[in-house]
Amino acid sequence: MGRLKNRALVHQDRQKRGAVLGDLLRAKIGVFCWCNRCGHSAEVDAVMLVQQLGPAFPVPEVGTKMRCTSCESKDVATRPAWPSHGPIARHD
């Protein structure tokens, strides 16, 4: 039973993959960038990034190619800029 479970887990891992720039381009979603040094944040258009890095470039690795425009740090984190539902104000 151990081998079957291990094979199933390996198969599941192979099917999972992180978002790539081409996925964001098709969904018309930008890339949210956050500077881990100064806290500055910005959203970058996926079209420009696809032109520079290609559609198969993983979104989490985009930060390795960026520099903060506020403090010049290269410690930038990136993720898809998913649409927000706005602030949640209901506190009971």
Segment 21-56, tens digit of pLDDT: 999 999 999 999 999 999 999 999 999 999 999 999
Q: What is the mean pLDDT of the chain?
A: 87
What is the predicted pLDDT for the residue at 84? 76
Distances (CA, A) of 62 to 40, 43, 69, 75, 86: 16, 12, 15, 11, 26
User: Can you give the pTM of this predicted structure?
Assistant: 0.73
What is the predicted pLDDT for the residue at 15? 65
Please give the CATH number for the structural domain made up of 19-80.
2.20.28
How far is Cα 45 from Cα 49, in angstroms, rounded to an integer?
Answer: 7
